[in-house]
């Protein structure tokens, strides 16, 4: 019996030629000298590149995407978070949330780790874990 494959015509999926990928094509995960696993450039990346959403905040809940979950802290970072506000309180259902995009602030060479100055978490050098990693405490900052 021959089965025919039917084409999906749902408008939600039109124009989507690729499956979801948790990281931009220019980035990969790798072992970090800073802490455990980090984000690394698969190619040279120019200053000003916007990789998209790293964090989203709905009400009091902060959610990290893979970008936000794997980028490591540095006092001399090569990326920063840009905060964007979204609100529509005049319509139903109303919404009000913030998101942060990860943007490079320096040219990044292939193989270099992407870093960020943490602002959502306080870093305490006085309280080092036994494995010499820094302990992070929640601090609500933007």
pLDDT in tens, 50-86: 999 998 888 888 888 888 899 999 999 999 999 888 8
Rounded Cα gap, residues 42 and 113, in angstroms: 10
Q: Where are the domains of the chain?
A: 46-105+116-138
119-131: average pLDDT: 49
User: Residue 132 pLDDT more than 80?
Assistant: no
Helix (H, G, I), strand (E, B) or coil at 104: strand
Can you give the pTM of this predicted structure? 0.69
Task: Report residue 90's pLDDT band, with 50, 70 and 90 as the boundaries.
Answer: confident
Helix (H, G, I), strand (E, B) or coil at 96: strand
Task: Report residue 3's pLDDT band, with 50, 70 and 90 as the boundaries.
Answer: low
C-alpha 81: how far from chain center: 9
Better pLDDT: 87 or 19:
87
Task: Report residue 21's pLDDT band, with 50, 70 and 90 as the boundaries.
Answer: confident
Backbone angles phi, psi at 46, to 5 degrees: -75, 155
Helix (H, G, I), strand (E, B) or coil at 68: helix
Task: Report residue 89's pLDDT band, with 50, 70 and 90 as the boundaries.
Answer: confident
- Average model confidence (pLDDT) for the chain? 78
User: Residue 124 pLDDT more than 80?
Assistant: no
User: Residue 138 pLDDT more than 50?
Assistant: no
């Amino acid at each position: 019996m021959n089965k025919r494959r039917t084409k999906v015509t749902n408008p939600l999926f039109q124009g989507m030629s690729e499956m979801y990928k948790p990281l931009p094509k220019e980035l990969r995960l790798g072992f970090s000298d800073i802490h455990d696993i980090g984000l690394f450039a698969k190619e040279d990346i120019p200053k000003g590149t916007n990789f998209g959403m790293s964090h989203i905040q709905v009400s009091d809940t902060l959610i990290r995407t893979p970008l936000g979950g794997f980028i490591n802290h540095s006092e001399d970072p090569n990326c920063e978070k840009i905060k964007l506000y979204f609100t529509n309180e005049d319509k139903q259902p109303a919404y009000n949330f913030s998101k942060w995009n990860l943007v490079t602030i320096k040219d990044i060479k292939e193989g270099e780790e992407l870093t960020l100055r943490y602002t959502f978490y306080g870093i305490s050098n006085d309280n080092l874990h036994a494995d010499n990693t820094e302990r992070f405490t929640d601090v609500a900052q933007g």
